[in-house]
Structure 1
Amino acid sequence: MDKKRILVVDDEADLREILQFNLESEGYFVATAPSAEQALKMLPEEYDLILLDVMMDGMSGFKMAEKMRKDLHNATPVIFLTAKDTENDMLTGFSIGGDDYISKPFSIKEVSARVKAVLKRTGSPESKKTIIDVGEMHIDQSMKCVSVNDRIIPITKKEFEILNMLAQAPGRIFSREDILNKVWNDDSYVLERTVDVHITRLRKKLGDQGKHIINRSGYGYCIEL
């Protein structure tokens, strides 16, 4: 079984060494970075998890996580390490795609338990974080959001589900009935016309990228790359 790869990002050398030593003792491959700037340069490498300090000189851990998610479309799980433990900070961490939050000072036992829990949760096939690219659109299935040219598009849950359904099988035509069954399940009060209305709104929100949603008259809708 391949070793899980962990990247530790912290500007305290002692802490980096302690975390690296203990995590390697548990069988992980561990790389370290002294700054967010250095860590971002290492991200073409694939990691299963990032332990990320929030308060660092230069770029903060929150800013790095935000850049990872929005600019690099990197969905690697992140556990924030921080001396700040207010509810506000926790909400900030989770809102930008953090998977867990550990307050300093912490015990190595606690870090180990959190690392195992996040790896188990994010390592299962159904929770693999994936991004589908369609033209300039990025459909983030884990964060349930869509961006165009790095700008988040405010779409509804139903609109996201329709777009995601089409994008998972480019070129395949889905009838209005297919879309109703998948997105609205067994709601018999929803009419096929509802699909047309949602797709019209979706195209408008996507602007130029709405051109990828094609209407095959008499058949239904599909995504063309």
Structure 2
Amino acid sequence: MRVAILDDEPAELRRVEQTLQQMADAGEQPWSLHSFERGEDLLRQLRRETFDLLILDWQLPDINGLSVLHWTREHMDAPPAAIMLTSRDGESDIVQALNTGADDYVSKPFRPNELKARVAAVLRRHSQQRATAEVLSFNDLVFDDAELTVTRDGKPIVMTEREYRLAHCLFSNLGRPLSRDYLYERFWPHEEMSSSRPLDTHIYRLRNKLGLTADRGWQLLTIYGYGYRLESVTPASE
């Protein structure tokens, strides 16, 4: 679970971090918290990193949180869940944020237990929404989330559950670079993260099993020192 927190007040940023860290410590899935004091810095990371949740202050000296929220909804195919956390608590402000795409709105000063409950509810709703989109098609590949299977022209491709989830993540983020850190945090427990070989091995298998080659319309690029990016390309035969 990767969470980005945007707030230009260091004390408030630490308070949100501490609250979410309590949720992370109580859960089974590892969390990774990333804090930003400038909207520009968060936007820069959003162009190259993937997050599951954004906690956004509204008023910042450069790019405000509402503008960041609007950018994610305009430019990302699968934008992360987002909660506005701000001292602006007027009815018109709340309506504007929700209409822009915020999943929830929490007023400052926030109560830690309330924030944790709202975060949990937003993540639960997003998980349910993803579950309803059970079948996704990418050229001749069909992903079935209910069965955790991939088929090509109706024929199943034998994959492990981890291979399926890693492939689904790559295809759901076409054209976006995904860092090794993100992929390990999402798909590997801590005890398996000491080496880069498990990820490299899985990438190699996916290239072969799914035919991620230019003649089939795909290019799985290795970004040196960073991670991987899956791109859709025009098949060479065309």
TM-score of Structure 1 vs Structure 2, range by shorter chain: 0.5 to 0.7
Deviation at 1:42, TM superposition (A): 1.3
Equivalent residue number for residue 43 of structure 2:
40
Equivalent residue number for residue 63 of structure 1:
67
Is 1:7 the equivalent of 2:4? yes
Alpha carbons 1:9, 1:51 under 8 Å: kept: yes
Alpha carbons 1:11, 1:35 under 8 Å: kept: yes
Deviation at 1:25, TM superposition (A): 2.7
Tell me, in whole angstroms, the C-alpha distance in 2 between the residues paired with 1:105 and 1:22. Answer: 13
Tell me, in whole angstroms, the C-alpha distance in 2 between the residues paired with 1:108 and 1:34. Answer: 20
Identity rate, percent: 29
Q: Write the deviation string for residues 179-221 of structure 1: whole angstroms up to 9, x where unpaired.
A: xxxxxxxxxxxxxxxxxxxxxxxxxxxxxxxxxxxxxxxxxxx
Structure 2: which amino acid aligns with 1:126? Answer: A
Equivalent residue number for residue 34 of structure 2:
31
Equivalent residue number for residue 126 of structure 1:
131
Alpha carbons 1:121, 1:127 under 8 Å: kept: no
Cα distance, 1:55–1:127 mapped onto 2, change above 3 Å: farther
SS of residue paired to 1:46:
coil
Tell me, in whole angstroms, the C-alpha distance in 1 between the residues paired with 2:42 and 2:105. Answer: 19
Tell me, in whole angstroms, the C-alpha distance in 2 between the residues paired with 1:69 and 1:121. Answer: 17
Equivalent residue number for residue 113 of structure 2:
109
Deviation at 1:58, TM superposition (A): 1.1
Q: Write the deviation string for residues 19-39 of structure 1: whole angstroms up to 9, x where unpaired.
A: 112212321321111111111
Deviation at 1:51, TM superposition (A): 0.3
**C-alpha RMSD of matched pairs (Å):** 2.6
Cα distance, 1:29–1:90 mapped onto 2, change above 3 Å: same
Runs of 5+ unmatched residues, structure 1: 134-224
State the TM-score, normalized to the length of structure 1.
0.53
Deviation at 1:78, TM superposition (A): 0.6
Alpha carbons 1:50, 1:76 under 8 Å: kept: yes
Deviation at 1:132, TM superposition (A): 9.5
Structure 2: which amino acid aligns with 1:15? Answer: E
Structure 2: which amino acid aligns with 1:52? Answer: L
Tell me, in whole angstroms, the C-alpha distance in 2 between the residues paired with 1:122 and 1:104. Answer: 24
Equivalent residue number for residue 52 of structure 1:
56
Tell me, in whole angstroms, the C-alpha distance in 2 between the residues paired with 1:41 and 1:132. Answer: 30
Structure 2: which amino acid aligns with 1:42? Answer: Q
| Structure 2 counterparts to residues 1-225 of structure 1, below 5 A | 4-27=1-24, 28-43=31-46, 44-124=48-128, 125-126=130-131
Q: Which has the higher contact order (CA 8 A, sep 6+)?
A: 2
Question: How many equivalent pairs are there?
Answer: 131
Alpha carbons 1:78, 1:100 under 8 Å: kept: yes
Structure whose alpha-carbon radius of gyration is higher: 1
